[in-house]
């Protein structure tokens, strides 16, 4: 399995993947809008031995209290159904976080299952007095300090790009 950054030739394959892995086309439309509006920081694909795109993960800017601190949000993450339960999503997430570290991005947030995301170091945002712009169950909105001490003395509302509000 090859994990690499998205190339222009992957755009239609990513769109098809998102349309087949989610119940609606909302995520596919979101990714297209983020790409068109230059709101993506990192877009990774997982390719099988035949070169087919079978997984995708995207990181986009978020703000804390309206301030751009170069923090990123992980969403969406998808893997083709016949390739699930093979660690592909986890590998994309780990490689994505490693790339964010190398590029100097200090923190990342995610909305998702705490039992899944804690393996990557994510913690409940509430623990750090941070809230998501949407009303979500406790523990589902999580934050990861990529740079040491990044979460110290920070708190408040974290907001995703406006394109996410179209979901």
Report the sign of the C-alpha dihedral through residues 119, 132, 139, 14, in that order. negative
Reported as a single tens digit per residue, the pLDDT across 11-32 is 999 999 999 999 999 999 999 9
Say what the pLDDT of residue 74 is: 98
Alpha helix locations (H) across the chain? 11-21, 26-36, 88-103, 114-117
Give the count of domains, the chain.
Answer: 1
Q: Is the peptide bond before 163 cis (omega within 30 degrees of 0)?
A: no
**Contact assessment for residue 127 and residue 107, using Cβ atoms and an 8 Å cutoff:** no
Residue among 46, 31, 111, 57 nearest 82 (CA): 46
Question: What's the chain's average pLDDT?
Answer: 96
Work out the percent of the chain whose per-residue pLDDT is above 70: 99
Residue 101's SS3 state is helix
* Domain that residue 12 falls in: 2-166
For residue 165, the model assigns a pLDDT of 87
Can you give the CATH number for the domain in which 43 is found? 3.40.630.30
The length of the chain in residues reads 167
Q: Which pTM value belongs to this model? A: 0.94
Angstrom distance (rounded) from CA 59 to CA 40: 6
In the prediction, which pLDDT does 47 show? 98
Question: How would residue 51 be classed by pLDDT, with cut points 50, 70 and 90?
Answer: very high
In the predicted model, is pLDDT for residue 86 greater than 80? Answer: yes
* pLDDT, tens digit, 9 for 90 and up, residues 120-167: 999 999 999 999 999 999 999 999 999 999 999 999 999 999 999 876
| Torsion angles phi and psi, residue 61, rounded to 5 | -65, 145
pLDDT tens-digit profile of 109-119?
999 999 999 99
């Amino acid at each position: 399995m090859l994990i690499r950054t998205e190339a222009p030739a992957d755009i239609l394959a990513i769109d098809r993947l998102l349309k087949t892995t989610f119940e609606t086309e909302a995520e596919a439309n979101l990714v297209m809008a983020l790409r068109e509006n230059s709101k993506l920081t990192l877009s990774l694909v997982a390719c099988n031995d035949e070169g087919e795109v079978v997984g995708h993960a995207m990181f986009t800017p978020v703000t804390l209290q309206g301030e751009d601190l170069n923090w990123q949000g992980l969403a969406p993450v998808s893997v083709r159904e016949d390739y699930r339960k093979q660690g592909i999503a986890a590998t994309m997430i780990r490689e994505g976080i490693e790339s964010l570290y190398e590029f100097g991005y200090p923190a990342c947030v995610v909305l998702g299952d705490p039992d899944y995301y804690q393996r990557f170091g994510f913690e409940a945002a509430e623990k750090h007095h941070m809230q998501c712009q949407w009303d979500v169950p406790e523990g589902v909105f999580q934050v990861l300090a990529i740079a040491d001490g990044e979460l110290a003395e920070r708190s408040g509302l974290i907001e995703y790009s406006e394109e996410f509000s179209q979901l």
